[in-house]
Structure 1
Amino acid sequence: MSTLKARSDERYADTSLPRIRILVAVQAVWMVLLVGLLEWFGSFSFESFYVFSYVGLAVNAQLFAPVEPAARWWRTVKWFVRLGFLGLCYFVAVRVTDVTQV
């Protein structure tokens, strides 16, 4: 009986799995609410949806960061944030070229 208890204690000792699930759930809820809010204000565009989704991801990633940053899922989240930043830079560059071509 003690070996079963030890195994179950080890399985629940890792708190990174619930953190990634919470992060994904909160991000998904944010993105669904964002579609509704942008539609309600009449300003939905892929660009604005992307920018607000990225800001939400960056904030959520900092809120749900693991205690030990060596977690595998955390490295993946950091890469998503980095790649998202490149997309954000693209949209800023497009907007700057639109404004300067007056």
Structure 2
Amino acid sequence: MVTSRRHRFVHAQVGVMLAAAFFLSLLGSLELELFFVLSLIGFLVNVELTAPFHVTPRWRRRLRWVILLGLIGFAYIVVQRILEILPPGVF
């Protein structure tokens, strides 16, 4: 049975997320924020590596919204980390 490109994309993303969780747990630093960032980086790499050359299927166009939500989540994490570093009373 031939696996569709969509299924291969999902399988690759699940593999990236499982690998990220495994290596973070090996390092003893399994945190939700780190897992999210590594999964987002893997997702963006996966999107670029599996991009078609000529025709973009409809399901790939919807990935833009997932990328946008991921980047908003990443910006939130960065702002939270910056606010933790700044001394109290700055904001």
The gaps in structure 2 that reach 5 residues or longer are none
Q: How many residues align?
A: 87
* Aligned residue number for residue 21 of structure 1: 7
Higher helix share: 1
CA distance in 1, matches of 2:55, 2:68: 16
Which residue among 56, 62, 76 is the counterpart of 1:76?
A: 62
* Aligned residue number for residue 40 of structure 1: 26
CA distance in 1, matches of 2:34, 2:47: 20
CA contact (8 A) 1:47 1:91 kept: yes
Post-superposition, which runs of at least 4 consecutive aligned residues in structure 1 deviate over 6 A? Answer: none
Which residue among 56, 71, 80 is the counterpart of 1:85?
A: 71
Amino acid of the residue matched to residue 69 of structure 2? L
CA distance in 1, matches of 2:16, 2:80: 25
SS at match of 2:51: coil
TM-score, with structure 2 as normaliser: 0.86
CA distance in 1, matches of 2:58, 2:85: 41
* Aligned residue number for residue 65 of structure 1: 51
Identity %: 31
Amino acid of the residue matched to residue 92 of structure 1? V
Q: RMSD over aligned Cα, in angstroms?
A: 1.8
CA distance in 1, matches of 2:29, 2:87: 23
Q: Deviations over 1:83-102 (max 9, x none)?
A: 10000000000001111126
CA distance in 2, matches of 1:70, 1:33: 28
Mark the structure with the bigger radius of gyration.
1
The gaps in structure 1 that reach 5 residues or longer are 1-11
TM-score, with structure 1 as normaliser: 0.77
